[in-house]
């Protein structure tokens, strides 16, 4: 066995239920594939994370820490250290207590070069070093140092929330358009009814009924004129209003623009069989969303809220398209 495999195996020799043979195989695979041994043990040999952390605590004789997006990491700890440096060295500052002690999550708390690097960035200390799994260090870096879309964890929800707000504002505007149109339709209905009363008046005016009951005939005219005079200003106000809806094509194009978050935040790998292309752009947009609306089971469990936020955005997009349909029809 090569020295690199021996080095990788050392922290996990006490981790049950691994035998020496299985651990050696996993270490060889980790060295060949250049991935952390803990990831292979967890994903391919189903060793629980708690077991791996317990072995690391015993080996390094220190406390352990896991990734948690709810940790209130002070902003001053995140200003100086660049993400690529932290990823290469395998550490991340996670806590600064009331006494000024900075808690460092590290893959190897005994690494003197890493300790010197920490002191070079934050000063002489004091420090408390806690061991963490390599994946936890990566998640800390991706979450709190604002990686690019698609790699984010907790901070991705801010971008998704922005797009949900954008779609909600557009749906509100569409609802205003529908309200405007409903008022105009109601006003036109009253105007039509008033004109019908006027027509009835003219009919009665030229009939024998006028001589019998002229007051009733004029009452029909008065009702008709009253309906017209009451509804016409409302109709004209809607026609002249700034809320007059744009053309159907514009409504569809703006609805499509609110779905552009899909390109940055939704990773399409398996979309299933291709569906027949529909004629209208709005129908094609509706079919497109079906490919994105899938439940993704994340690891660790604390990332689940981010994936659920993606699902909420897709559902919001479906509501936006439905709102555009209702406005057009």
As a residue count, the chain comes to: 329
Which of 10, 42, 43 is closest to 24 using CA atoms? 10
Cα angle vertex 32, ends 29, 34, to 5°?
A: 100
pLDDT at position 261, please?
A: 74
Confidence of residue 150 (pLDDT cuts 50, 70, 90): very low
Q: What is the DSSP letter of 67?
A: -
Asked whether the predicted pLDDT for residue 47 surpasses 60, the reply is yes
Asked whether the predicted pLDDT for residue 154 surpasses 90, the reply is no
Distances (CA, A) of 55 to 58, 185, 194, 277: 5, 73, 86, 55
pLDDT at position 34, please?
A: 77
Which of 188, 194, 189 is closest to 221 using CA atoms? 194
Predicted TM-score of the model (pTM): 0.51
Beta-carbon contacts of 172 under 8 Å, excluding residues fewer than 6 positions away, are none
When the pLDDT of each residue in the chain is averaged and rounded to a whole number, the result is: 77
Average pLDDT over residues 43-55: 81
Beta strands across the sheet bearing 91-96: 91-96, 102-106, 127-131
Percentage of residues in the chain having pLDDT higher than 90: 11
**Which one of 2-6, 44-48, 120-124 scores highest in mean pLDDT?**
120-124
Helix then strand then coil, in percent of the chain rounded to 5, is: 65, 5, 30
Average pLDDT over residues 266-285: 58
Distance CA 49, CA 58 (A): 14
CB-based burial label for 327 (10 Å; 0-12, 13-18, 19+): buried
pLDDT at position 194, please?
A: 93
Distance CA 173, CA 56 (A): 56
pLDDT at position 81, please?
A: 66
Asked whether the predicted pLDDT for residue 211 surpasses 70, the reply is no
List pLDDT tens digits, range 226-245: 999 999 998 888 877 755 56
Asked whether the predicted pLDDT for residue 142 surpasses 50, the reply is yes
| Residues paired with residue 129 on neighbouring β-strands, in sequence order | 104
Question: Comparing 146 with 52, which gets the higher pLDDT?
Answer: 52
**Which one of 172-181, 280-289, 309-318 scores highest in mean pLDDT?**
172-181
The pair of structure tokens assigned to 153 is 């964890």
pLDDT at position 146, please?
A: 57
pLDDT at position 244, please?
A: 59
């Amino acid at each position: 066995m090569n020295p690199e495999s021996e080095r990788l195996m050392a922290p996990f020799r006490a981790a049950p239920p691994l035998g020496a043979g299985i651990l050696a195989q996993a270490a060889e695979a980790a060295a060949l594939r250049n991935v952390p041994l803990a990831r292979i043990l967890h994903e391919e040999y189903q060793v629980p994370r708690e077991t791996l952390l317990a072995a690391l605590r015993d080996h390094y004789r220190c406390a352990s820490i896991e990734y948690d997006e709810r940790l209130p990491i002070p902003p001053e700890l995140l200003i100086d250290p660049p993400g690529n440096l932290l990823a290469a060295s395998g550490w991340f500052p996670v806590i600064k207590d009331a006494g000024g002690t900075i808690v460092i999550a590290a893959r190897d708390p005994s690494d003197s070069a890493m300790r010197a690097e920490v002191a070079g960035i934050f000063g002489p200390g004091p420090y408390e070093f806690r061991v963490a799994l390599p994946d936890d260090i990566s998640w800390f870096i991706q979450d709190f140092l604002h990686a690019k879309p698609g790699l984010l964890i907790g901070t991705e929800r801010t971008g998704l929330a922005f797009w949900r707000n954008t779609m909600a504002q557009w749906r509100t505007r569409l609802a205003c358009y529908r309200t405007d149109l409903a008022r105009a339709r109601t006003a036109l209905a009253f105007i039509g009814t008033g004109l019908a009363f006027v027509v009835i008046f003219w009919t009665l005016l030229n009939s024998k009924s006028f001589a019998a009951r002229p007051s009733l005939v004029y009452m029909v005219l008065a009702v008709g004129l009253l309906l017209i005079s009451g509804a016409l200003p409302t109709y004209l106000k809607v026609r002249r209003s700034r809320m007059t809806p744009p053309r159907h094509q514009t409504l569809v194009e703006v609805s499509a623009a609110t779905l552009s978050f899909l390109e940055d935040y939704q990773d399409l790998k398996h979309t299933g069989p291709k569906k027949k292309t529909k004629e209208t752009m709005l129908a094609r947009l509706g079919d497109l969303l079906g490919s994105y609306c899938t439940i993704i089971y994340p690891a660790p469990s604390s990332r689940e809220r981010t994936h659920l936020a993606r699902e909420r955005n897709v559902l919001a997009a479906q509501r936006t398209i439905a709102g555009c349909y209702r406005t057009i029809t």
